[in-house]
Chain A
């Protein structure tokens, strides 16, 4: 029950002031930032590193809520500012309100949720970002995101095409959730995961009609479409009594565990697992043998949703260290709080040049490491811009499952 201050009426002819429900939910989080304003979030923010613009800082994202409550700013003034965020989570983790006292008070910074809420509010007010709107419409129409462009349909009926020849059954107790980007754009990733899981002795099926997890819809403000995706997916799981969902892509994992439970009172039926943890465990327990040397010198990119948002950084390193022949030059995961590919929350769809620059800088950091000519990531979304920037300078970009499958003797 939040403390209410005097709510600003629409002043200066500004329209679309924040409704009271919005303020009730976000005022305290906004003031938790505004009452401090010390900006520890800034230097770790990949967008701020490139733009240096205070409008796009986590500080501004919270201050705007106060400014809008007081009638100084309207959604028209700020909607486009909120595009500039990859939702990497560095800010809300690094903020002392989380890092030092978030657990003590059971109250942490939630910049990502504030940005989601503001983007959704903009959409509700009819303010759309052109490409995001189109992206959402096509996702709604096709069931999966238009990751192959505006005209190549990515329907639920085509989403299993990557599995051709693998004879994976439909449904069952354990299901592999392959993610739109991976399934359509980088099929070597789910193929690698499937082969590795089999080699570990994990039995699994694929959904009958996998739809987008809904994550980017929640992230860009198209909440109704997100709900539709989520509900469809849960119905699909229940059709074959699925209990366990394996996620190779941390975007799906975090979307499912954060957004699905409020939509379904029986969500506790499901167990959600990260593929990277499963594979690391299998290697540790001797159930997966990596016998084929991979003679490369690589470094690892901590994907934001895995490292910053979930705190998962050990499993991928364990896997890489188990690959024979591989020279692995590590950069620790705390330094990587300030790293990002720039792909998150579909930033690249609306601001490709910003994502490109964030990725270019990430590749440049890898280049600084002695002898490194390969960058391994564990997130297909990051691999899209990283691969593009890497090509320009001779840095190969791998997904962790691709390189592990190679070490397991598979050709993908």
Chain B
């Protein structure tokens, strides 16, 4: 367990942030150790920070970071703490920089359609403030009601509406970031805070989008605004096998419909999982083995004609329409379709509380069938051997921003009996994760489309996945963070500091 922070350092932190915004109490530390489960609760003490600061300005963040650099104290940036890859989980104590108080809306520019906000603001809260103006910030992950802009940048977040509006990296125009050595810099498209595309200077923005808090701390961002869509449509079709649903997904993904926002897919194991608890309003007959859902957003003059085409494509390979009511309701639930713990079942079908591991690989769409089979084989082995796992099926979704045709976010959802967590079970989980991630790499994919490779099970494989780019990645890390203080230990980046 990390030791108590030095009294002198604590005094300096108080001088920087004010005594009301520096915390060393046990509940402050223990309640910032974790992100969503699964979590090695038996090693909770290993993951607490030594101190927490809640700064209210980039200048305060800068001073804290400089102090940490001077004394070699780890810094862990934390926005929402809602990530699914442990990016905001401290590994070596240190000072946790919690950005939630920087949650103001600084400027709404309806002329040039941008909004400038503190990194600590949540997208739904932001959009409720924007609603009277008829515009939205269309970053829409499954954590939409709870994740924060800083974390979205840190994870290179993925949005349900990405096929139509782009993902976080397309929606963040520029931002202010405190580098690991304390400098406050603004990165964007060239020097234009509100410009969308520039060829001046290096493209530094993408470097920091998805850095998982290892290259600095974002304090403020200027974001894209879009007019709220005139209408939306969602249609869900049910199939009697994997193949027709999969082929429908491919067909729709390359249909060229301009209002196409996403195509999603549930495999037979996922349907079986849904059937056993029905989420209180979806009844699914036995012959249904797979589901394909299609969503459109845009102007009525475009969406209405496209609906006819979608209905035709959905049915062409034998799909049955689930009906208007369920289609529109189920689509709405996508925005927070988290797997609740009570979906867990023991092998004899009893309800148990399970945490949800969501493996979120991205793969070329052609690899979907093979990877799915291997994943379920792996899951089956662990389910049979350990008694704490449950296979909740596979889900796929068109992945790229603006380009639904090429790759898919492929997800396998696994339940883990969280109250049974101990070291053996945690290691089993890590091993399971690793096998799943390994399969992805063997098929030319990336281990994580959305969450990050910072959790055990994925992290060890980051060098493998990065391949020839790994060395470059290490050099960048070392250059920006010479003392390895910024979220150290994540993604195998300690290797950047090993002498050859």
Q: Does B180 contact A (CB under 8 A)?
A: no
Please name 7 further chain A to chain B contacts, defined as beta carbons within 8 Å, in addition to the given A36-B355, A54-B98, A101-B340, sorted by A numbering.
A28-B353, A40-B146, A43-B122, A49-B125, A54-B81, A63-B30, A73-B26
Contact with B along A68-105 (1 / 0, CB 8 A): 00101100011001000000000000101100110111
Q: Does B36 contact A (CB under 8 A)?
A: yes
Cβ contacts A to B, 17 pairs, < 8 Å: A31-B353, A35-B341, A36-B36, A39-B82, A40-B336, A40-B338, A43-B122, A52-B120, A55-B25, A60-B31, A72-B45, A97-B340, A101-B277, A104-B277, A105-B277, A338-B128, A368-B132
Contact in complex: A39, B146 (CB < 8 Å): yes
Q: List the B side residues contacting A3 at CB < 8 Å.
A: 352, 419
- Whether A37 contacts B39 in the complex (CB less than 8 A), given A97-B342, A104-B280, comes out as yes
| Cα distance A57–B36 in the bound complex, in angstroms | 14
Minimum CB distance partner of B344 in chain A: A35
| Cα distance A334–B359 in the bound complex, in angstroms | 32
Q: Does B80 contact A (CB under 8 A)?
A: yes
Q: List the B side residues contacting A39 at CB < 8 Å.
A: 36, 80-82, 146
Q: List the A side residues contacting B81 at CB < 8 Å.
A: 39, 54
Contact in complex: A34, B31 (CB < 8 Å): no
| Cα distance A1–B343 in the bound complex, in angstroms | 19
Q: List the A side residues contacting B122 at CB < 8 Å.
A: 42-43
Q: Does A319 contact B (CB under 8 A)?
A: no
Q: List the A side residues contacting B100 at CB < 8 Å.
A: 52-54
Q: Which of B100, B103, B143 has the most CB of A within 10 A?
A: B100
Q: Does A67 contact B (CB under 8 A)?
A: yes
| Cα distance A37–B86 in the bound complex, in angstroms | 12
Q: Does B44 contact A (CB under 8 A)?
A: yes
Q: List the A side residues contacting B284 at CB < 8 Å.
A: none
Measured as residues with beta carbon below 8 angstroms from the partner, the interface class of chain A is 35 or more
| Cα distance A368–B354 in the bound complex, in angstroms | 43
Contact in complex: B54, A72 (CB < 8 Å): no
Contact in complex: B25, A36 (CB < 8 Å): no
| Cα distance A257–B69 in the bound complex, in angstroms | 58
Q: List the A side residues contacting B341 at CB < 8 Å.
A: 31-32, 35-36, 97
Contact in complex: A43, B30 (CB < 8 Å): no
Contact in complex: A37, B37 (CB < 8 Å): yes
| Cα distance A329–B122 in the bound complex, in angstroms | 26
Chain B residues close to A by CB (< 8 Å): 23, 25-28, 30-32, 34-37, 39, 41-42, 44-45, 54, 80-82, 98, 100-101, 103, 120, 122, 124-125, 128, 132, 143, 145-146, 277-280, 333, 336, 338, 340-343, 351-356, 418-420
Contact in complex: A37, B30 (CB < 8 Å): no
Q: Which of A5, A40, A43 has the most CB of B within 10 A?
A: A43
| Cα distance A81–B23 in the bound complex, in angstroms | 13
Chain A residues close to B by CB (< 8 Å): 3, 5, 27-28, 31-32, 34-44, 49, 52-55, 57, 59-60, 63-64, 66-67, 70, 72-73, 77-78, 81, 94, 96-97, 100-101, 103-105, 107, 335, 338, 368
| Cα distance A338–B145 in the bound complex, in angstroms | 11
Q: List the B side residues contacting A57 at CB < 8 Å.
A: 31
Q: CB within 8 A of B128: which of A97, A103, A335? A: A335
Minimum CB distance partner of A79 in chain B: B27
Q: Output the least CB separation between B279 and chain A (Å).
A: 6
Q: Output the least CB separation between B261 and chain A (Å).
A: 22
Minimum CB distance partner of A3 in chain B: B419
Q: CB within 8 A of A38: which of B280, B333, B338, B353? A: B338
Contact in complex: A70, B44 (CB < 8 Å): yes
Q: CB within 8 A of B146: which of A31, A35, A42, A101? A: A42
| Cα distance A57–B100 in the bound complex, in angstroms | 13
Contact in complex: A35, B30 (CB < 8 Å): no
Contact in complex: A53, B54 (CB < 8 Å): yes
Minimum CB distance partner of B142 in chain A: A38
| Cα distance A103–B277 in the bound complex, in angstroms | 11
- Whether A104 contacts B279 in the complex (CB less than 8 A), given A34-B418, A36-B36, A37-B35, comes out as yes
| Cα distance A358–B399 in the bound complex, in angstroms | 40
- Whether A63 contacts B34 in the complex (CB less than 8 A), given A34-B418, A55-B28, A105-B342, comes out as yes
Q: List the A side residues contacting B351 at CB < 8 Å.
A: 105
| Cα distance A4–B174 in the bound complex, in angstroms | 51
Q: Output the least CB separation between A329 and chain B (Å).
A: 12
| Cα distance A39–B340 in the bound complex, in angstroms | 12
Q: List the A side residues contacting B336 at CB < 8 Å.
A: 40, 96
Contact in complex: A101, B25 (CB < 8 Å): no
Contact in complex: B27, A77 (CB < 8 Å): yes
Minimum CB distance partner of A36 in chain B: B341
| Cα distance A72–B36 in the bound complex, in angstroms | 19
Q: List the B side residues contacting A335 at CB < 8 Å.
A: 128
Contact in complex: A107, B342 (CB < 8 Å): yes
Q: Output the least CB separation between A110 and chain B (Å).
A: 14
Q: Output the least CB separation between A90 and chain B (Å).
A: 11
